[in-house]
């Protein structure tokens, strides 16, 4: 137990090194670890919104086809172990401890070198993912970009396929103020001759991606042009749609995630699957349908049944909450909503609030479990002119309890605004975990029941 606490504390301590884009630190670290990324056939997924869902779809389809598939995503909701999956199974706390024990002395050795910056938390976790998947001899690793693409720690691989999901304005202080600037950072994952599949994009973002593909000699399959999405229909627990490409078609395909936008993510995922077939992967129609049927992706329009019903969504930027609002209108029209909201201060919270105000009869502003959290009173002020009842509860358990007081049996309690909020709230709602420990100590502490 003491050893686990020390390692959990080690990961937590890495936050002081911040989030600094760049490849030098991670490349040096991986070189010392034997370059495990070179032993991984991979799909690399960038984008602003939808990249996690798209990555999960690709991984689930390939697992249904009988392959051993690693999936690396970020951030996590409750435990760091969620970031490392093989065929849907989280890494065990012991395995994560062992990986960190192997990596830590290498990190400390590098940090002692003159002029060498200490690797960041994300870089260390990315190195752990490469080691884990290479050691497990996965047939394919699906790797989600953490931030941007060009200078993201994951961008040290030579993938079989590159994927770019929908690009929107987010992280403007790091990636650029305009859509073309942000798109250029995302398109930085495009490598010479590697085929690319892209979700439907705004024209200025699509132009950047097309130019990058031409420069690298890479083919581009674009949803809306080369991949068609038709007949989106609401279905039990999700949506159904018809998806097709140049040489494939899946009519009446069920995706067990709420929101019409998941049809676009599904189309992007199937575009990647088709490209993997060209690399020798054998994937039948039954594998596609079974893989999607098995898909579970917590925190994305996730319903926790009850009276009232809880709906959890990690939308954390204006484009994400726009999609959330549309999905609410499709799946829960006319339902009264009590919203628990919390966001990070570095987000465009005013634009998020403007999208969300028409949804809610009651807003309870709270503080996500993050040092970057926006103060609840500042969040509440953005809703007060438009929402009849706006309250402040700084602690998440108190905010959830207050939401229950205001929600009737037929109402919806919507929790949204930040991964950090949804992860903590989900832990409290499902099993009463101490959410702060859940986030702080991933190895041993805060394991999900």
Instruction: Give the pLDDT band of residue 448 (cuts 50, 70, 90).
Output: very low
Share of the chain above pLDDT 70, in %: 92
What CATH fold (topology level) applies to the domain 2-293?
Answer: 3.40.1190
Cross-strand bridge partners of residue 228: 244
Q: Where are the domains of the chain?
A: 2-293, 302-440
pLDDT tens-digit map of 230-246:
999 999 899 999 999 99
pLDDT tens-digit map of 137-148:
999 999 999 989
Contacts of 166 (CB under 8 A, 6+ apart): 47, 48, 49, 50, 199, 200, 201, 264, 319
Contacts of 400 (CB under 8 A, 6+ apart): 340, 413, 415, 425, 428, 429
Question: Please, are residues 327 and 354 in contact by the beta-carbon 8 Å criterion?
Answer: no
- Output the pTM of the full model: 0.91
pLDDT tens-digit map of 168-203:
887 667 788 899 999 999 999 999 999 999 999 999
What does the pLDDT read at residue 16?
57
pLDDT tens-digit map of 11-41:
766 765 556 778 999 999 999 999 999 999 9
Chain centroid to CA 352: 18
Q: What's the burial of 236, exposed, middle or buried (CB within 10 Å: 0-12/13-18/19+)?
A: exposed
302-440 CATH: 3.90.190.20
pLDDT tens-digit map of 286-302:
999 999 999 999 999 99
Q: Please state which of the ranges 213-217, 315-319, 339-343 shows the lowest mean pLDDT.
A: 315-319
């Amino acid at each position: 137990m003491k050893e686990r606490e020390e390692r959990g504390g080690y990961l937590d301590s890495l936050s002081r090194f911040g989030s600094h884009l760049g490849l030098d630190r991670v490349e040096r670290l991986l070189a010392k670890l034997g370059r495990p990324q070179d032993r991984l056939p991979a799909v690399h997924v960038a984008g602003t919104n939808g990249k996690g869902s798209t990555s999960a779809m690709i991984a689930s389809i390939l697992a249904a086809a009988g392959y051993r598939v690693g999936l690396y995503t970020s951030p996590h909701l409750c435990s760091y172990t969620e970031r490392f999956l093989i065929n849907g199974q989280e890494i065990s706390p012991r395995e994560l401890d062992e990986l960190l024990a192997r990596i830590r002395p290498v990190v400390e050795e590098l940090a002692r070198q003159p002029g060498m910056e200490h690797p960041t938390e994300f870089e260390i976790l990315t190195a752990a993912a490469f080691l884990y998947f290479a050691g497990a001899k996965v047939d394919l690793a699906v790797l989600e970009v953490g931030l941007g693409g060009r200078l993201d720690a994951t961008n040290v691989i030579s993938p079989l396929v590159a994927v770019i999901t929908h690009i929107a304005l987010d992280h403007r202080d790091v990636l650029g103020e305009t859509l073309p600037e942000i798109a250029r950072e995302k398109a930085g994952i495009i490598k010479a001759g590697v085929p690319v599949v892209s979700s439907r994009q705004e024209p200025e973002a699509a132009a950047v991606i097309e130019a990058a593909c031409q420069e690298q000699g890479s083919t581009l399959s674009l949803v809306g042009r080369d991949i068609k999405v038709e007949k989106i229909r609401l279905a039990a627990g999700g949506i159904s749609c018809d998806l097709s490409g140049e040489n494939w078609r899946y009519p009446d395909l069920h995706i067990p995630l709420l929101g019409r936008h998941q049809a676009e993510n599904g189309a992007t995922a199937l575009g990647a699957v088709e490209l993997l077939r060209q690399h020798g992967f054998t994937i039948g129609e039954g594998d596609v349908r079974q893989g999607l049927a098995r898909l579970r992706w917590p925190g994305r329009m996730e319903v926790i049944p009850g009276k009232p019903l809880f709906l959890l969504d990690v939308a954390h930027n204006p484009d994400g909450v726009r999609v959330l609002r549309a999905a609410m209108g499709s799946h829960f029209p006319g339902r009264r909503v009590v919203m628990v909201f919390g966001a990070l201060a570095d987000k465009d919270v005013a634009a998020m609030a403007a999208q969300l105000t028409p949804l809610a009869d009651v807003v309870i502003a709270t503080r996500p479990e993050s040092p970057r959290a926006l103060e609840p009173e500042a969040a509440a002020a953005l809703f007060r002119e438009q929402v009849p009842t706006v309250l402040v509860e700084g602690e998440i358990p108190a905010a959830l309890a207050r939401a229950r007081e205001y929600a009737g049996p037929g109402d919806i309690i919507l929790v949204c605004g930040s991964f950090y909020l949804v992860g903590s709230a989900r832990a409290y709602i499902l099993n009463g975990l101490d959410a702060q420990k859940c986030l702080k100590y991933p190895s041993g502490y805060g394991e999900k029941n």
